[in-house]
Structure 1
Amino acid sequence: MSQLSGPEIKHSLRKLDYPLCAKEAIIKIGQLICNRVPSLKHMDLALDLMAELIFCEVDRRGNKRHSPLTSLDELQLLDILYDYLNNTSNETSRNAVFLSLFSGTTAMMRSAVLSKLVSVAVGIPSPTVLSSASVWMQQLGNTSHNSNQLAKALIKDYFVLSPNIVHKLNVLPHIAPQFTANFLTAIANMYFTDGKKEAFTFPSQNLLETITLWVNENSGLCIAAQQIQSSLPPGAIAMEATTPLAGLLRWCILAPIYNEDSDLYGKLHLGLLNSILEIPSTNPPRAISAAHLVQPVGIILRFLNDEQLKVKTTEQIVDKQKTLIENKLQLCLDRFAQAIQVALSINCVYGNMEDLFYQLQQLPQNRLLRIVIHTHKLNK
């Protein structure tokens, strides 16, 4: 079949019923795109086979199908894709096929199949498939909409619909550290991200427990995606992973002022600080962006502004309530200062440092934060 032309290959595969045509098509797709130097003609043929014979998005004339895969078809397809990827030992070839199946232009359209495929790989588990999923998240951006949608689907599967099996995820950082790190980055981007309290969403208790456990038991987890170079097809440009450190620190910093009083935030904060301290100080990675690290500033200032408006529009807040708010604010600022000082001590913060410290000076008085700012000025 390898000597057949494109039309002949399609004609041969069309004779097969689904899902056998999909099973044969994925093998042919691997052969087409995993050549040493695949031609554009081969790539176009592979994409055509995916659209028509794998995902059934178009008919043989290229017209869009209005009826999606049935539930049975989808289940059979998941089995085919899982077996093919799990049994493809060549990492570069496997990643090339995975990235082609769920490219940036088709990922949203195929998100249901993608999410279920990765969910199965998490549950079984399959480090091989999760490795390719990690590369996919990194190449499309682990803070992108596509990665967020995948993270939401996994959270729904394991933390909402099946909370009784959450404990099975405890091994995930050990079997798939790069995937877990990219998954954490996507999750971190989903919560504590809006300045309006009514628009805020917070992680569930079981999700927070799992993440806290992961971080505290695996000090190198947060930078794991930056430690190994992705195996990509020829010509592909490796995209740098964003670590989850700044996003998860934001959770811990903002939790007190939004009445998220779980002790887990304190434990997570400590685990994150220890993770940063474990980063090699000689030639450290670009672990934390200054632009990401400074994000809590605007949210804290908007929170204080809202509290001041409440005082003006309602009866004056009693002293006890004022003290409570002030204590929560100081805990928030203490955690912020600790995170900044530890990150600076390891020299793993990159970006516009002057803007970072300019914005920090807009925050209310806090003894530890002032010491950090003053020390930075002396060391300039």
Structure 2
Amino acid sequence: MSVDLGVLLRLEFPTCVREGLRKLEEVIKLPTSSQQHGTQQYIMDEFIFCFKDHKIGKPKPLGPVEELAIVQQMAHHIGESVDAASQNTLFITLFHPAANDVRTPHKLRILGSLVSLAVVTHNASVLEATAVWLQQVCCLSSCSGEVCQGLVRDYFLPNPSSPSMPSPLTPLPSIAPLFTANLITAASQLYANLGTGNICVVPPLPLVRTFASWLCTHPHLALVPLTQPLPGISLPMTAVPPILTIVKLCVESPFFLRYHAQTQSPLPSSRRPTLTKITQDMVKVEGKEGWKEDVQEAEELYSKLHLSMLKTLQSVTTVRCRMTQRQVLCPKQVLSMIEAVSERVKQCKSSDQDCLQLSLDRLAQVILVALRTDCLSGSLGDIWKAFRTLPSNRLIRTLLDTHGIR
């Protein structure tokens, strides 16, 4: 059994992209064989992503106009899909980020443009397929970060001075909840540095404002990755809800907000994230206007986000029977968050005791609730050891005493 590819050779660009997507779906449905992967790659290289000119068999550069045409053809094809399983399988095949593959950067650039178009047109099919892709490559990965940094630039920071959320973003939690939750995880990781042991970078205020609006008005949004199955995915990867990336920003926020209050500098509002190492020294602040309003608003937003995450952890018991995995919080990621707080403590001045205690209170509150709701389990010895290195704090003492840690 085979698929006739002759028609593709007779089609001009960009018509060949749409037909190539149809043929690729046909090939994917065929029984697995040694030739199947080669056929898939041939269709993608020459007729979908158009890495090569099939008429002369040589690589060809694509300009912005050609890339836009490819994105539009993909958006139309996937948008018309009615079978979620086939849609997800096609998406994973198209945008699989193979290591050391020179085609991967080009594919991720196309994917970023495709998702950006889907956000503004509310193309739910593309957004849902992207949500599955984010989960399969891990929302904390550099590939997810590459795709999401373009979205942050295009939609979260178009008008930093405006307190209102850009309209294309407002309905996303209702249109594509899994995409929204995974987007929060991937975009916040650009600043949170979860799992690295490094301190976080100050996120732009419009980004924090948007996340607070989404999470506070949709109480169960952060749990969607744990409760939604992935059609067409035989080996789903471990879901990473946005809980810890948001918590890490909330726990460290007293430190960086104190810095901006002391220096009377406004929070970054239009600085674009990059995947290179970002440090606090790289934050560019223009002028001294509005620093007090920025800090006051940010303090309120982080308080709301912290409360939202505590409520999210408390509500896990109500969805436990629908969860697709047991793990809610990863112990290794929790440990890395404590290590980042330890780094903050080393830089802390004697005059910063109030922000230090607020940070430690938030950290202890999250762990207390997580343990009570069975959201954090497994081997926790390293976590207790890390807690004992932190400065004295009433809630941390309660936490350690409750669990018999000396």
Q: Tell whether the 8 Å contact from 1:108 to 1:146 is kept in structure 2 after alignment.
A: no
* Higher fraction of helix: 1
CA deviation vs aligned residue, 1:327-375 (integer Å, no higher than 9, x gap): 1100110111111111111011134212111111110000111111111
Kindly report which structure 2 residues correspond to 1:18-97, keeping only aligned pairs within 5 A, or say none: 18-35=13-30, 37-60=31-54, 65-67=59-61, 69-97=62-90
Q: Tell whether the 8 Å contact from 1:111 to 1:150 is kept in structure 2 after alignment.
A: yes
Q: Tell whether the 8 Å contact from 2:181 to 2:241 is kept in structure 1 after alignment.
A: yes
1:356 and 2:351 correspond: no
Q: Say which SS state the counterpart of residue 90 (structure 2) adopts.
A: helix
Distance across 2 between alignment mates of 1:101 and 1:131: 15
Distance across 1 between alignment mates of 2:380 and 2:83: 42
Amino acid at match of 1:348: C
Cα 1:4/1:225, change in 2 over 3 Å: closer
Normalising by structure 2, report the TM-score: 0.81
CA deviation vs aligned residue, 1:65-105 (integer Å, no higher than 9, x gap): 251x2222222211110111011111111111111111122
Amino acid at match of 1:356: I
What is the identity percentage for the equivalent residue pairs of Structure 1 and Structure 2?
Answer: 27
Q: Tell whether the 8 Å contact from 1:215 to 1:275 is kept in structure 2 after alignment.
A: no
Q: Please, which of 121, 140, 145 is the counterpart of residue 143 of structure 1? A: 140
Q: Which residue of 1 aligns with 2:202?
A: 202
Q: Which residue of 2 aligns with 1:279?
A: 316
Cα 1:196/1:33, change in 2 over 3 Å: closer
Q: Tell whether the 8 Å contact from 2:95 to 2:111 is kept in structure 1 after alignment.
A: yes
Kindly report which structure 2 residues correspond to 1:136-215, keeping only aligned pairs within 5 A, or say none: 136-161=133-158, 166-193=166-193, 200-215=200-215
Deviation at 1:188, TM superposition (A): 2.5
Deviation at 1:139, TM superposition (A): 1.1
Deviation at 1:135, TM superposition (A): 0.9
Kindly report which structure 2 residues correspond to 1:301-320, keeping only aligned pairs within 5 A, or say none: 301-307=342-348
Q: Which residue of 2 aligns with 1:247?
A: 245
Aligned-pair RMSD on alpha carbons?
2.4
Q: Say which SS state the counterpart of residue 133 (structure 2) adopts.
A: helix
Deviation at 1:162, TM superposition (A): 5.8
Q: Say which SS state the counterpart of residue 108 (structure 1) adopts.
A: helix
Amino acid at match of 2:93: S
Deviation at 1:226, TM superposition (A): 1.6
Q: Which residue of 1 aligns with 2:302?
A: 265
Q: How many equivalent pairs are there?
A: 354
Q: Which residue of 2 aligns with 1:115?
A: 112
Cα 1:332/1:136, change in 2 over 3 Å: same
Distance across 1 between alignment mates of 2:365 and 2:373: 13
Deviation at 1:61, TM superposition (A): 8.1
Q: Tell whether the 8 Å contact from 2:202 to 2:256 is kept in structure 1 after alignment.
A: no
Distance across 2 between alignment mates of 1:63 and 1:20: 19
Cα 1:304/1:65, change in 2 over 3 Å: same
Q: Which residue of 2 aligns with 1:344?
A: 371
Normalising by structure 1, report the TM-score: 0.86
Distance across 2 between alignment mates of 1:286 and 1:3: 42
Distance across 2 between alignment mates of 1:99 and 1:190: 23
Structure 2: give runs of 5+ residues left out of the alignment.
259-294
Q: Which residue of 1 aligns with 2:292?
A: none
Structure 1: give runs of 5+ residues left out of the alignment.
309-321
Distance across 2 between alignment mates of 1:134 and 1:209: 22
Q: Tell whether the 8 Å contact from 2:371 to 2:377 is kept in structure 1 after alignment.
A: no
Cα 1:3/1:190, change in 2 over 3 Å: closer
Amino acid at match of 2:389: Q
Cα 1:196/1:101, change in 2 over 3 Å: closer
Deviation at 1:286, TM superposition (A): 1.4
Amino acid at match of 1:150: V
Q: Please, which of 289, 297, 305 is the counterpart of residue 330 of structure 2? A: 289
Q: Say which SS state the counterpart of residue 109 (structure 1) adopts.
A: helix
Q: Which structure is larger by alpha-carbon Rg, 1 or 2? A: 1
Distance across 1 between alignment mates of 2:328 and 2:155: 28
